[in-house]
Structures are given as structure tokens and as C-alpha cells.
Amino acid sequence: MIINDRMKTILNAVVHLYITTAEPVSSEMIVCYYGLPVSSATVRHDLLVLEKLGFLKKPHTSAGRLPTDKGYRFYVDKLMEKNINSLSEEEKEEIIEQYKIGRDFNEIMIITSKLISRLTNNLGLVLAPNMVRDTLKDIHFIALDNQRLLVTLITNSGLFFQKIMKVNCDISEENLETISQIIKKEFYGKNLEMVNEEMLKKIYQYSFEYQALESIWNLIENCFDFTVDNTKVFLGNRSYILKQPEFKEIEKLNYLFDFIEEEENLVKIIKRSILKKQIDIIIGSELGQEIMQNCSVITRQYLIKGKPRGAIGVLGPTRMDYSKSISVLEFIANRLSEILPE
């Protein structure tokens, strides 16, 4: 069986109509809305073939048809117009507007996830940049008060990482200076992961040399016991996806929320797309999660200093508007890559 052009048109029609109406699509509907020069009976014949090929399915014998995951896949790969201009001028302006104000890093992630939610009517996702492969460039100690230090670690890509360090003794600026000198000398240009691992050894080594610093070294030891791989996912507004008809049964919603609020689940899905240059679309069962069978995730890398460092995404029902979502992600990822250090 070969898929001819008309069948492609029909498949495309089913996907489109199903995406917009959320109802199984009948042969009549297709003829009506797409003005095909054939009768509904002919369309029905083609539908039958498309179903046999696994692109479509019926919820029950006397219902219209809707795309299978394979159907969506074909649509996304072969049929969908990659029309980046499906964003209106207003929407583009809205996005640009959001990034004008000089925000701090966390805020940018939050804003972005909410923006994606609003524009796609689904759940926006942002995977914060991962610093595992970054190298140490600088370290600063700032006294917040006489008991707490703010330690700021700056990496080669201009990202930073902060911890608050509790000190129970007075620490002179001089000592801090010595320490930051030592750390810089020992670890400058070294991989953060290595810094993490070797800090302990160095602490012991130097604690002989600078006995006065011993107590501080202990603090630093705790302070640097950080998991560099602190991949963080920011979720946008949930209120939009809540309104999607596929979640009108509370039970499905429960499964969805249990899944998405377990951070690792999403990290696993999004992470793999950081290094992909193209939009990454994962449809339904491709997610490999029983619970998420009727959801799709679309992701897009973003760059920092020209290098892929994180990703943004949309999570919605498989019946989501792929074209629109892609446009939104492309546009926002590009903005983000501009905003974040080039």
C-alpha cells in the first residue's frame, strides 16, 4: 500500500481538525472543511487504508478517526509546514518585551516558563543551564553579616553558582583573600566536577601549611559539597494545560501532576535534547512512560556563548498544536540565547 498525495492531504486534515476540535474526525468533516473534489465515501476508503497502515485509529466502531502516535509522527516529519511565522506580531513583541528588563537568572527562567505556558496553552518547561562541564574562573566571598558569607563561584561561561556559608567565628578579610587566592591558584580553569572532587584533598594539604585557616577550610569543605549537576527544571503555569479536554477526568490529571512534579522525570526527557540542534519532538509512547502515553513534549536547546547549555520545552497532550509550539520555542530560544551571555 502506497500513500498517495490525496491520502497525505486527508491525513493532514485529520490531524488539523483533531487538533482544533479535539473530536474524532469524520469523512464528511474532511470533505466539508477541505473542499476535496471527491465524495465522503472515497475519503472513507482512504481513511480505512490509513487506519490499516497505523496512522489513524477510531475510539469505537461508529466514530470518526484520530491520529495515532505514528500518525502524528508522519505529520510532524513530512506534512507540517514549518512556518515560523505562525507567531503574530503582538506575540513576538510580548516576548521581546519580557526580556527587556535586566533580570536575575532565576527570574529569567521563571518568566520564560510562564511565557511558554501562556503562548502554547500548555505547560512551559525550562531546563536551567548545566555547569558540570564549566571550569572555574573566579571565586568571591561577600560578607552578608558577621555570621554568613555569600560564596559566588563564577565559571568560564559567565554563569555563577552561589552558596551561603555559615561561619561561627570571625573571619578576617585577609584570611578570605588568602583562601580565594589558593582556590584560584589550584583550581583556575579546572572542571567544576573536578573542583568538587579534589577540594577535600586540597583542604587537607593546605591545612598543614596554614593552620590558622583550619576552621575555615572545614566550612569550605561543607560549602563545596555541592552537586554540580544540579539540573533544575522550571515549570510554567499549570492553569492552561488544565483546561485541555484530555484532562477533564481528574484521574488523568493526577497521573500527569504526579509525573511532572517529580523533577527527575522531566530532566530525563529534556536533557537529551540539549545537544540537538533542531527542535526535538517526542510523541506519546515515544516518551517511554506508560502514564504519559497521551502527552507529547517538544524541546529546543538554547545557547550560552554560542554553546548549547540548556533547553526549553512544551508539554501538552499529543493533540497539541505542534506547529505553533515549535514557533514559540524557536523564537523564545533565540531570544534567550541572545539575552544570556553571548
Which is closer to DNA, CB of 145 or CB of 251? Answer: 251
Is position 249 an interface residue for DNA (rule: CB under 7 A)?
no
Residue 53 CA to residue 56 CA, distance in Å, equals: 8
Give the count of beta carbons closer than 10 Å to the beta carbon of residue 266. Answer: 22
Tell which residue, 168, 146, 290, 172, has the closest CA to residue 222. Answer: 168
Beta-carbon contacts of residue 311 (< 8 Å; ≥ 6 apart):
126, 127, 270, 271, 273, 274, 299, 300, 301, 302
Size of the site for DNA (CB under 7 A): 25
Beta carbons within 10 angstroms of residue 156's beta carbon? 17
- The residue (of 224 and 322) whose beta carbon lies closer to a copy of itself is 224
Q: Is 24 in the site for DNA (CB under 7 A)?
A: yes
Q: Does 28 bind DNA (CB under 7 A)?
A: yes
What is the enclosing helix (H) or strand (E) of 29?
helix 27-34
> Candidates 25-33, 147-155, 175-183, 185-193 — which segment interacts with DNA by CB under 7 A?
25-33
Q: In the bound complex, what is the minimum distance in angstroms from residue 59's beta carbon to DNA?
A: 7
Q: Which three cell numbers stand for residue 142?
A: 561577600
CB of residue 28 vs DNA: minimum separation in angstroms?
6
- Residue 169 binds which entry of a copy of itself, DNA, none, CB below 5-8 Å type-dependent: none
Choose which of 1, 2, 41, 101 interacts with DNA (CB under 7 A): 41
Report whether 318 contacts 284 (CB < 8 A): yes
Tell me which residue of 182, 162, 166, 164 sits closest to 174, measured CA to CA: 182
Residue closer to a copy of itself (CB basis): 36 or 179: 179
Q: What is the distance between the alpha carbons of residues 142 and 14, in angstroms, rounded to a whole number? A: 60
Nearest to 10 by CA among 37, 281, 323, 294: 37
- Cell triple for 177: 583573600
Tally Cβ neighbours within 10 Å of residue 178.
16
What is the distance of C-alpha 144 from the center of its chain? 34
Q: Does 2 bind DNA (CB under 7 A)?
A: no
Q: Which does 42 bind (CB under 5 to 8 A by kind): DNA, a copy of itself, none?
A: DNA
Applying CB under 8 A, which residues contact a copy of itself?
A: 102-106, 138, 140, 142-145, 147-148, 150, 152, 154, 157-160, 162-166, 222-223, 237-239, 242-243, 247-250, 253-254, 257-258, 261, 341-342
Per CB under 7 A, does 65 bind DNA?
yes
Residue 152 interacts with, from a copy of itself, DNA, none (CB under 5-8 Å by kind):
a copy of itself
Residue ranges that bind DNA, judged by CB under 7 A: 23-29, 37-42, 44-45, 47-48, 51, 58, 60-65
